Structure 1
Amino acid sequence: MDSSSYDYSENFSIVHGMIMYKEFAKYWDDVEAFQARPDDLVIATYPRSGVKQLKEMSSPRILKTHLSSEHLPISFWEKNCKMIYVCRNAKDVAVSYYYFFLMVSIHPNPGSFPEFVEKFMDGQVPYGSWYQHTRSWWEKRKNPHVLILFYEDLKEDIRKEVKKMMQFLGRKPSEELVDKIVHHTSFQEMKNNPASNYTAIPEKVINQKVSPFIRKGITGDWKNYFTVALNERFDMHYEQQMKGCTLKLRTEI
């Protein structure tokens, strides 16, 4: 399939120039008007939430989002909420996103992996450009209410990163609590947990026969998918898009 033939018209909308799931986009006015609470914790990532339900949640609330920092409701900044952004290298994100496209039925057929990578590089995927998204959060790194974490660091030394998060949240990192968090966030535990592996969702929505939602959880899997030529093209494009940005990401550990 020619990647240029992607048809997002049925299940997607355009919000501020980026492709967005229609079921989320229809609540966009509510998202922009959302009132944060000072003790809200925001966990943000680029992809690989219902507004009314959040209003009913008791505090402190933990809110997960795929929005860039510039599209996050302004009240989170006004209330000085704490925010954690988890960043992953673009090549592994592209691979993971490709499989997500394959397994979730509302996505258009992504075609071959090289065809999908072209769309990924152009930001023609839900939530827009990885480059813009990542840069938007990286620019907030000096904000004392923002903590930037890296997927590769989490894979390399999860205990160290858990302690970093707990200190950021003003919690004393006891070894017992760290042990418990490390255990429950391990790849195998998350893969076996219905709350995180999405196995309860009907196959017609997420077909995990194509690929499990919790797939590999490794760093460097991109090497199994990028040809030499595609890798060179991606690196060139990456340098252009991230020019002037001080962010350095590891593509293997």
Structure 2
Amino acid sequence: MSFPYEIKSVDPELNKEILSVFSGERQGYYHVGPKKYLLNSSYAKEAAQYYNVEVRPDDVWVVTYPRSGTTWTQELVWLLNNNLDYDRALKERLNERFPYLEISVLVHEGFRKDIIEYNNNDPDCIEALKKMCEPGYEAVKKMESPRHIKSHYPLSLLPPNLVDTCKVIYVARNPRDVAVSYYYQNRLLKFMGFEADFAKFWDLFQRDSVLWAPFWSHVEEGWELRNHPNMLFLFYEDMKKDLPAAIRKVAAFLNKTLTDDQVAKLVSHLDINNFKNNPAMKQIPDVIKGMERDGEPGFVRQGKTGSWRAEFTPEMSAKADAWMREHEKHTDLRFQL
């Protein structure tokens, strides 16, 4: 299979630094392509397979940088495209209805062995872990159409015919809120296993040294395609500010018509308090123990905008402002505060 980009190991000192605070990865990190997207050892072995995934015309993809409102958008999109089937949406985990393409590359083989041992070789755990870690490029082949697929890969690392073939929704969020949410997720999920404080995480985030970075390159790839007829570019902040309007915009993109009552019911279903307590949002099957760290906020955390202010020191905030101004020199993309 062809793959057009160079994959190079990151500088040894940087690799050592990242590995020292992320316990999930066991081997190391790579820079991919001219934008130097940071990805891990499993990706380096499977890059071509993901780049060459077969795309179907009736697919719907949600693509985001992590922690940009992905799960929220997935649930909305799936319901709109499945005749508002709330019964199924409440019973069947979102990850099964709307799978995460590259989840398998995040769970290092060494970590999988540790989890199996932690679960005392429980057959149900082994089977669930096997299903969870099936390479996404194999799993999506087996899906019936219309498929719904989530990915955090930047568009340049996904199939080159993606946007010309099917509908893609890209969601962007203020990077300061992204970083805070991403920090808590990386602490929660042991296969990511971040072991330091937020100041260290933000330092790595700004230096494009966390998975899927650089943030700006990732978002700009979506922004550049915002006028393509098959692309819907959304801001998380707009969705939070006026969810009914966002629902109608996504429905129109998917060629769906909604009554006011249907919009109101979707708004209620997607309300953060209902959403975070919905068992279908659970990311890890119950039979797999030890994948999440005790004492951390859940996968669906606050769903707020501007919560970064509670986490940033004045010095960090000043550096973040300068970092954003520097990047805004090169794009007309602007984030709401």
**TM-score, normalised relative to structure 1:** 0.89
User: What SS does the aligned partner of 1:115 have?
Assistant: helix
Matched, 1:45 2:64: yes
* 2:143 match: 57
Contact 1:167/1:173, CA 8 A, preserved across alignment: no
Contact 1:6/1:108, CA 8 A, preserved across alignment: no
* 2:279 match: 194
Contact 1:6/1:110, CA 8 A, preserved across alignment: no
Distance 1:19 1:244 in 2: 21
* 1:224 match: 310
Q: 1:11 deviation in Å?
A: 5.8
Runs of 4+ in structure 1 over 3 Å off: 21-27, 199-203
Matched, 1:168 2:253: yes
The 5-angstrom pairing of residues 56-205 of structure 1 reads: 56-79=142-165, 81-198=166-283, 200=285, 202-205=288-291
Distance 1:12 1:197 in 2: 28
Contact 2:18/2:209, CA 8 A, preserved across alignment: no
Match 1:27 to one of 46, 52, 55: 46
Per-residue CA deviation, residues 14-68 of structure 1 (Å, 9 max, x unaligned), is 2613333555554322211111011111111111321212111111111111121
Q: 1:181 deviation in Å?
A: 2.4
User: What SS does the aligned partner of 1:6 have?
Assistant: helix
Match 1:238 to one of 319, 324, 337: 324
Contact 1:92/1:219, CA 8 A, preserved across alignment: yes
Task: Flag the structure with larger Rg.
Answer: 2
Distance 2:247 2:294 in 1: 30
- Taking structure 1 as reference, are residues 61 and 233 closer, same or farther at Cα in structure 2, changes over 3 Å only? same
Corresponding pairs, count: 248
Identity between Structure 1 and Structure 2 (%) = 30
User: What SS does the aligned partner of 1:27 have?
Assistant: helix
- RMSD value, Cα: 2.2
Distance 2:168 2:180 in 1: 26
- Taking structure 1 as reference, are residues 233 and 144 closer, same or farther at Cα in structure 2, changes over 3 Å only? same
**TM-score, normalised relative to structure 2:** 0.68
Distance 1:178 1:247 in 2: 29
- Taking structure 1 as reference, are residues 180 and 27 closer, same or farther at Cα in structure 2, changes over 3 Å only? farther
User: What SS does the aligned partner of 1:148 have?
Assistant: strand
* Letter aligned with residue 198 of structure 2: F
Give 5+ residue unaligned stretches, structure 2. 1-14, 68-100, 102-135
User: What SS does the aligned partner of 1:70 have?
Assistant: helix
* 1:14 match: 30
Which one scores higher on RCO, CA 8 angstroms, separation ≥ 6?
Answer: 2
Distance 2:333 2:55 in 1: 29
Q: 1:132 deviation in Å?
A: 0.9
Distance 2:188 2:28 in 1: 17
Distance 2:290 2:31 in 1: 26
* 1:5 match: 17
Q: Please identify, of 140-149 and 5-14, the stretch whose mean Cα deviation from structure 2 is larger.
A: 5-14
Q: Please identify, of 22-31 and 182-191, the stretch whose mean Cα deviation from structure 2 is larger.
A: 22-31
* Letter aligned with residue 280 of structure 2: A
Q: 1:220 deviation in Å?
A: 0.8
